[in-house]
Amino acid sequence: MPVKLDDQNIPVVDLGAFLSGTSDERLKLAQRVDEIFRSIGFLIIKNHDVPKNICDRAWLSAKKFFEQTSAEKNTAYSDDPACPRGYTPIEGEALGKTLGIEAPPDRKELFSIGSLMPPAGHHEDKNFHFFYGPNIWPQSPLNFRVYWTNYYLAMELLGAQIMQLLAAALGLEDSFFVKYHTHHISALRSQNYPSLSGDLLPGQLRAGAHSDYGTVTILNADPDVGGLEVKSPSGNWISAPTIEDAFIINIGDLMARWSNDRWVSTLHRVVDPVGVPGNPTAKRQSMAYFMNPNYDANIEAIPTCVAEGTSPLYPPVRAGQYLVDKFTVSN
């Protein structure tokens, strides 16, 4: 049985206290973040400065989009595997496959956008279209594009603040990660997990066990319906809580490689919600901003994360190719 998490299991971090704190306060909080990411790889941030109306409008527009008919949603569907944008129908992804195993497709549908502005002078890369291809916008609901654009930009700013905190936690200059995210390939995705009906395939989940691929993930989780589970250091699956006006943050694979596995990119999954009054298979929604580096960033172990007399655990990897390979496996 999953162990119920409380705030002590996934700690809550006051981002505002870091950004406006004294040198001693910032150092103390950075050290705490280092300890958290060494163990479970997840934390919750509060006291951020993302306006609530930006979050609410993006969330509601996603909800209205998923409530449309299949025909209406499919107007934003792309059958171009080289450009992962727009609408993905139910069972269009199998995240469990990214662990190198056979896995059934996930019981969810998605809407995704990528970079809002492609950089100049990088068109020679064979995967440029994958990274910077045009976003596909639905015909309805009204103002969907405006609300999602505003939310993406707000996540860019929040992500930059989080990276300052992470740099400090690793004992680096606050600006260390800036040069790796100047033309980033971050993605914004809303997941809709519909009410379950009918038979499920053996081992089928709302989202199979996986780690995230990039730098960090900023998750705006459903405040009413749970289901997100995180694999603890002891190997138990534990239920992640949600806190109003807060974001769940977790380390991605590329950040784990940067830190030479000092920080863990933790397995997580989405299962059927338990204990929802009157509806054990309630629908669930989330919005995730997958913060990824520049596609041409060379990710290699930070020297201070490699113990003296030892070698890095991983060879250098080009960020974009790593992300393409992971995405290709799951789709």
249 contacts 217 by C-beta, under 8 angstroms? yes
Q: Is the pLDDT reported for residue 79 higher than 90?
A: no
Least confident of 106-110, 193-197, 233-237: 193-197
99 contacts 88 by C-beta, under 8 angstroms? no
* Residue whose entry in the numeric block shows the structure tokens 């989405």: 270
Q: What domain range is 290 assigned to?
A: 3-330
Say how far apart CA 219 and CA 120 lie, in whole Å: 30
Q: Is the pLDDT reported for residue 280 higher than 80?
A: no
What is the pLDDT averaged over residues 48-74?
Answer: 96
Residues 6+ apart with CB under 8 A from 310: none
> Sign of dihedral through CA atoms 326, 239, 196, 64?
negative
Read off the pLDDT band of 327 (50, 70, 90): confident
251 contacts 305 by C-beta, under 8 angstroms? no
Q: Is the pLDDT reported for residue 277 higher than 90?
A: no
Q: Is the pLDDT reported for residue 238 higher than 90?
A: no
Read off the pLDDT band of 41 (50, 70, 90): very high
Output DSSP code: residue 251. Answer: E
Q: Is the pLDDT reported for residue 5 higher than 60?
A: no
Read off the pLDDT band of 278 (50, 70, 90): very low
* Of 110, 243, 244, the residue nearest 188 (C-alpha): 110
What is the pLDDT averaged over residues 43-52?
Answer: 95
Q: Is 15 helix (H, G, I), strand (E, B) or coil?
A: helix
Q: Is the pLDDT reported for residue 275 higher than 80?
A: no
Give the whole-number percent of the chain exceeding pLDDT 70: 92
287 contacts 245 by C-beta, under 8 angstroms? no
87 contacts 76 by C-beta, under 8 angstroms? yes
Say how far apart CA 319 and CA 180 lie, in whole Å: 10
pLDDT, position 274: 59
Backbone angles phi, psi at 24, to 5 degrees: -65, -40
301 contacts 260 by C-beta, under 8 angstroms? yes
pLDDT, position 124: 67
pLDDT, position 123: 64
Q: Is the pLDDT reported for residue 167 higher than 90?
A: yes
Residues β-bridged to residue 250: 42, 217
Number of independent structural domains in the chain: 1
The domain spanning residue 229 has which CATH number? 2.60.120.330
What is the pLDDT averaged over residues 210-220?
Answer: 93
For the segment 249-273, what is each residue's pLDDT rounded down to a tens digit? Answer: 999 999 999 999 999 999 989 887 6
